[in-house]
């Protein structure tokens, strides 16, 4: 039976991962933690600043956790605005979570990202094992995190596992300060205004995935037979790769008058330009059966429907 402690449980991934894990393993077996108080009361919740190693250890012990999923982090654009804070939070939090996993003998998950690649990485069908020389603080954090997670596995036997997520599209909690966030904002604006001004330039391809597929990937990887895992930290996963015109065309199938214009943000564009156009997820497919249900048009249909329901309730 799993007893899971999640950090960053109120973030874009954490807010949905908590519900997913509670539906799979039982609400009482998932302890959600975040630096902010929660307004929901659908299971155990504790305040936790991930830079507080002592409290993290105490919570894991008291909850009798057997798994830690470390989701708390600053995303790429936010990290670029404040690299020192990003280092302290992203690396400090990660080391603390790995140490808790080592001391309490917990299974460990943390997400890496397409941000772990850089301008010298092959841009098309980026392989699982390739050059990783990112030029952003977020990317530096993610590569260091992958290496550190591998280290804890080899050196201490901690069962560390991870994926390199692409941009994640979701409607429950907005992402905070990423580069791929335009692919979330565009759906909100399509419904509210029928138009969107993209800060990412026409022709810029990035990998993306719809949140339900991302959550299933986490569950599947954590349940995977360890003897089959050649790689651990971290697997390339992706569902689609598109540029702004293609997501606009997909939206126009539902909102024919939807219009897209551009006002490119140089910082986020530079980050996007340093990332792959499309990554190869074959290692994840072979080693633990990674699969997705949503392509671009299926995602668009679901996003627009769910956001319409959300705005009608608001
Ligand atoms: N979605 C993230 C970002 O844009 C990438 O991991 O920062």
Whole-Å CA distances, 140 to 116, 174, 193, 204, 237: 7, 24, 37, 22, 19
Residue 12 CA to ligand 1 center (angstroms) comes to: 11
Residue 180 CA to ligand 1 center (angstroms) comes to: 5
Q: Which of 11, 111, 180 to mutate to test the pocket of ligand 1 (most atoms within 8 A of CB)?
A: 180
Cis status of the peptide bond prior to 216, with omega within 30 of 0: no
Residue 179 CA to ligand 1 center (angstroms) comes to: 5
Q: Residues of CATH 3.40.50.720 domain(s) within the chain? A: 4-165, 168-207+239-313
Report pLDDT for 42: 87
To the nearest whole percent, how much of the chain has pLDDT over 70? 100
Residue 255 CA to ligand 1 center (angstroms) comes to: 27
pLDDT digits (tens, 9 = 90+) for 51-78: 999 999 999 999 999 999 999 999 999 9
State the catalytic residue, choosing from 25, 138, 182, 205.
138
The question of whether 138 is a catalytic residue gets the answer yes
Nearest atom, ligand 1, residue 180 CA = 4
DSSP letter, residue 87: I
Whether 178 is in the pocket of ligand 1, judged by its Cβ within 6 Å, is: yes
First-to-last C-alpha distance (Å) of the chain: 38
Give the CATH architecture of domain 168-207+239-313: 3-Layer(aba) Sandwich (3.40)
Whether 75 is in the pocket of ligand 1, judged by its Cβ within 6 Å, is: yes
pLDDT digits (tens, 9 = 90+) for 108-142: 999 999 999 999 999 999 999 999 999 999 999 99
Of 153, 148, 157, 289, which is closest to residue 225 (Cα–Cα)?
289
Report pLDDT for 90: 97
Residue spans of the chain under pLDDT 70: none
Whether 180 is in the pocket of ligand 1, judged by its Cβ within 6 Å, is: yes
**What fold, for 4-165?**
Rossmann fold (3.40.50)
């Amino acid at each position: 039976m799993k007893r899971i402690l999640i950090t960053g449980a109120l973030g874009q991934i954490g807010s949905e991962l908590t519900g997913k894990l509670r539906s799979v393993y039982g609400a009482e077996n998932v302890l959600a933690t975040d630096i902010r108080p929660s307004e929901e009361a659908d299971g155990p919740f504790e305040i936790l600043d991930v830079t507080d190693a002592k409290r993290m250890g105490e919570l894991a012990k008291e909850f009798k956790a057997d798994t830690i999923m470390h989701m708390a982090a600053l995303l790429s654009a936010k990290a670029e605005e404040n690299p020192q804070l990003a280092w302290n939070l992203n690396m400090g939090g990660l080391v603390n979570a790995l140490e808790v996993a080592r001391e309490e003998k917990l299974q460990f998950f943390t997400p890496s990202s397409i941000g772990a690649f850089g301008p010298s990485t092959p841009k098309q069908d980026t392989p699982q094992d390739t050059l990783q020389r990112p030029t952003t603080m977020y990317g530096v954090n993610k590569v260091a995190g992958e290496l550190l997670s591998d280290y804890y596995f080899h050196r201490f036997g901690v069962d560390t596992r991870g994926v390199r997520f692409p941009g994640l599209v979701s409607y429950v909690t907005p992402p905070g300060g990423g580069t791929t966030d335009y692919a979330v904002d565009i759906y909100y604006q399509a419904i509210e205004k029928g138009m969107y001004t993209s800060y990412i330039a026409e022709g810029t391809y990035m990998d993306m995935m719809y949140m339900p597929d991302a959550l299933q990937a986490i569950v599947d990887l954590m349940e995977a037979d360890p003897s089959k895992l050649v790689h651990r930290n971290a697997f390339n996963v992706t569902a689609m790769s598109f540029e702004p015109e293609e997501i606009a065309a997909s939206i126009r199938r539902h909102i024919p008058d939807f219009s897209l214009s551009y006002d490119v943000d140089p910082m986020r564009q530079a980050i996007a330009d340093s990332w792959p156009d499309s990554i190869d997820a074959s290692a994840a497919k072979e080693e633990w059966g990674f699969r997705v249900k949503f392509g671009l048009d299926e995602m668009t249909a679901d996003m627009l429907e769910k956001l319409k329901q959300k705005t009608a309730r608001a």
